[in-house]
A and B are shown apart, each in its own frame.
Chain A
Amino acid sequence: MRATISESRWVQCLLIGIALLFLAGFLLLPLAAVFTEALRSGWVAYRAAILEPDALSAIRLTLLVAACAVPLNMLFGLAAAWAVSKFEFRGKTLLITLIDLPFSVSPVVAGLVYVLLFGRNGWAGGWLIDHDVHVLFALPGIVIATVFVTFPFVARELIPLMQEQGTDYEQAALSLGASGWQTFWRVTLPSIKWALLYGVLLCNARAMGEFGAVSVVSGHIRGQTDTMPLHIQILYDEYRFSGAFAVASLLALLGLVTLAVKSYLEWRHGDELAATRRH
Chain B
Amino acid sequence: MTVPQKSARRHTMPGFGLTMGYTVAYLGLIVLIPLAGLFFKTAGLGLEGFWRVVTSPRVLAALRLSFGAALAGAFINVIFGSLVAWVLVRYRFPARRIFDAAIDLPFALPTAVAGIALTALYAPNGWIGRLLEPHGIKVAYTPLGVIIACAFVGLPFVVRSVQPLLEEAERELEEAAASLGASRLQTVLRVLLPTVLPGMLAGFALAFARAAGEYGSIIFIAGNKPLVSEIAPLLITIKLEEYDYAGATAVAVAMLLLSLLLLLAINGLQVWSAGRQRRVA
Is A189 in the interface zone, CB < 8 Å from B?
no
Is A79 in the interface zone, CB < 8 Å from B?
yes
Q: In this complex, what residue of B is CB-closest to A84?
A: B23
Q: Are A215 and B16 in contact (CB-based, < 8 A)?
A: no
Interface segment among B138-146, B208-216, B269-277: the answer is B208-216
Is A93 in the interface zone, CB < 8 Å from B?
no
Secondary structure at the B interface, as helix, strand, loop or mixed, is helix
Q: Which among B100, B126, B249 is the interface contact of A112 at CB below 8 angstroms? A: B249
Please give, as numbers and ranges, the residues of chain A lying within 8 Å of B126 by CB-CB distance.
33
Q: Which among B91, B106, B112 is the interface contact of A211 at CB below 8 angstroms? A: B112
Q: Are A109 and B233 in contact (CB-based, < 8 A)?
A: yes
Please give, as numbers and ranges, the residues of chain B lying within 8 Å of A144 by CB-CB distance.
30
Secondary structure at the A interface, as helix, strand, loop or mixed, is helix
Please give, as numbers and ranges, the residues of chain A lying within 8 Å of B97 by CB-CB distance.
263
Answer whether A27 and B106 are a contact pair too, CB < 8 Å, given A109-B38, A109-B233.
yes
- Smallest Cβ distance from B237 to chain A, in angstroms? 6
| Bound Cα distance A161, B250 (Å) | 39
Is A157 in the interface zone, CB < 8 Å from B?
no
Interface size in chain B (residues, C-beta < 8 A):
90
Q: Are A211 and B13 in contact (CB-based, < 8 A)?
A: no
Q: Which among A79, A99, A276 is the interface contact of B164 at CB below 8 angstroms? A: A276
Interface segment among A49-57, A126-134, A191-199, A254-262: the answer is A254-262
Q: Which among B11, B35, B102 is the interface contact of A28 at CB below 8 angstroms? A: B102
**Total A-B Cβ pairs within 8 A:** 274
Is B179 in the interface zone, CB < 8 Å from A?
yes
Q: Which among B32, B118, B237, B245 is the interface contact of A30 at CB below 8 angstroms? A: B118
Q: Are A117 and B209 in contact (CB-based, < 8 A)?
A: no
Instruction: Tell me the residues in window 207-251 of chain A with beta carbons closer than 8 Å to chain B beta carbons.
Output: 208-212, 215-216, 228-230, 232-233, 236, 241, 244-245, 248, 251
Q: Are A98 and B31 in contact (CB-based, < 8 A)?
A: yes
Q: Which A residues are closer than 8 A to B by beta carbons?
A: 1, 4-7, 12, 15-16, 18-20, 22-23, 25-31, 33-34, 37, 75-76, 79-80, 82-84, 86-87, 89, 95, 98-99, 101-109, 112-117, 119, 121-123, 144, 147-148, 151, 167, 170-171, 174-175, 179-180, 183-184, 202, 205, 208-212, 215-216, 228-230, 232-233, 236, 241, 244-245, 248, 251-252, 254-256, 258-260, 262-263, 276, 279
Given contacts A19-B83, A112-B249, A210-B110, 17 further A-B contacts (CB under 8 A): A5-B174, A12-B91, A15-B83, A22-B84, A26-B152, A28-B105, A30-B152, A34-B116, A83-B23, A114-B34, A116-B41, A171-B11, A202-B107, A209-B111, A233-B112, A248-B112, A263-B97
